[in-house]
Amino acid sequence: MGMRYVPLESCLRVARGSAKIVRQQNGVLGEIGNDEAGHDHDDLGRARGLLIEGAASNLLRYSTAFSNVLWEKDAGVSVSASGLAAPDGSAGATQLDLPGGAAGLYQRVDNLVAGETHCFAVWARAVSGTVDVTLGGINGASAHAVSLDESWQRVGFGEVASGTTRYPKINTSVSGMAASILIWNAQLETGPVSTSDMISNGVPATRAIDDVRLDPGDWFQAGPGTLVFDLELPPAWDGIWRIVQLYSTSLNDDHLDLGYDSAADQLRVSLRKGGVPIVTQSLYGTLTPATRRKIAIAWDDDAVAVAQNGVVLKSPGGFAMPRNFTHIGIGSYAGESGALNGHLRGVSYWPARLSDDRLIALTET
């Protein structure tokens, strides 16, 4: 049976209780409203796909207003309005002049969870030519060297917080050389990877989770099927994050769930029927962060198969697959947790369990 084609936008449903910033087709960052699909692009305007993220907070305050007193400056450090375009197209880029060495720009952040990973990110570019700067301050006197040219880059790092009060900082302690750079929107958040920009003022800024669903409509059939997901994976992850969930009335009833267990470094399939777990299996399919992957899940009456990178992994058979799936969730657990924090580039569906050879061909990289 052939693939069922339906434009993604015709069945895509997104719920998000906040605005969100994504890069638009013109390569400039822009804000979209609540419940708008976060179609993201690169700096040349090429589509990256639907950006699906979890809830997050920018723990820094006045994240673009570096002249605010909350942004402390060591002796010899100065900030000034540059009048040049920032990544969002505004004239809001700030010039930061560093005298060289450990002197830098930083902000005190309290109430962190010591021992948990946090990420610091900031948009930066050289005023002219190329310069080297240093980012650090979450795990003690950490130092991460970054090279900048005259194009905007979002640079940053993730590390474990060494205390409940930390001081994310920009200086040139590694190179020791004076530097003049442009900066825009600094962000500190809990988690292994920096997510899309959140601009704060006097209080930390927050963004709600993307609850992404596909409306089955008349293109989805009960019974055997195959779904193939084209994903751009995030540069880091933790916990269990989800790729897809098919279920009837609720996730506590009949459901088929495909996710990734970061701690075990394995793909994970869960099947529940009549509220009773039938299959909970780690399939030993390892994914690599910051890569593009095509991942397939195929099911028939008594087995589930998962394919990625040209390998097919199967669950034990001998059960009767539910035939009452009416909900399809993408990239999170019920729009509450376990977010992908990456890009969904496309979805393909067949109302049949494709052969292993076909699954291999569809998922080879």
Alpha-carbon distance of 36 to 14, in angstroms, equals 6
Q: How far apart are the first and last CA of the chain?
A: 24
Q: Cα–Cα distance between 206 and 213 in angstroms, integer?
A: 22
CA dihedral for 177, 62, 57, 86, sign (positive or negative): negative
Architecture of 8-54+209-363 per CATH? Sandwich (2.60)
Domains 8-54+209-363 and 56-207 share a fold: yes
Tell me the C-alpha distance between 215 and 14, whole Å.
10
- Kindly list the averaged pLDDT for each block of 10 residues, start to end, along the chain of length 365: 64 97 97 98 95 98 98 98 97 97 97 96 98 96 96 97 97 97 98 97 97 92 93 95 93 90 92 84 88 95 90 83 90 95 95 96 89
Q: What is the DSSP letter of 4?
A: B
Q: Fill in the amino acid letter for 233.
A: L
Measuring CA to CA, which residue among 185, 169, 7, 199 is closest to residue 87?
Answer: 185
- How far is it, in rounded angstroms, from Cα 11 to Cα 214? 5
In what order do the strands lie in the sheet containing 292-299?
A: 39-41, 47-52, 342-350, 225-232, 292-299, 304-308, 311-314
3-state secondary structure (DSSP) of residue 240: strand
Q: For residue 167, give Cα distances in angstroms to 106, 163, 189, 293, 340.
A: 6, 10, 13, 37, 29
**Other beta carbons less than 10 A from residue 121's beta carbon:** 22
Residue 45 carries which side chain, given as an amino acid letter?
Answer: G
Distance of alpha carbon 295 from alpha carbon 292, whole angstroms: 10
- Bridge-partner residues for 13, per DSSP? 213
d(CA 331, CA 343): 9
- For the whole model, what pTM was predicted? 0.94
Say if strands 29-32 and 240-247 run parallel, antiparallel, or are unpaired: unpaired
Residues 269 and 252 sit within 8 Å (Cβ to Cβ): no
Residue with tokens 């963004």: 207
Domain 56-207's class? Answer: mainly beta
Retrieve residue 125's tokens.
């570019």
Q: How much is the pLDDT for 29?
A: 98
The bridge status of strand 276-282 relative to strand 292-299 is unpaired
As a three-state string, the secondary structure of 165-233 is CECCEEEECCCCCCEEEEEEEEEEEECCCCCCCCCCCCCCEEECCCEEEECCCCCCCCCCEEEEEEEEC
Is residue 95 within 8 Å of 127, Cβ to Cβ? Answer: yes
128: number of Cβ within 10 Å: 9
CA 180 to CA 148: how far, in whole Å? Answer: 11
The pLDDT of residue 130: 97
The pLDDT assigned to 5 comes to 56
Boundaries of every domain in the chain: 8-54+209-363, 56-207
Q: What is each CA distance from 11 to 33, 51, 81, 220, 327, in whole angstroms?
A: 19, 17, 45, 11, 12
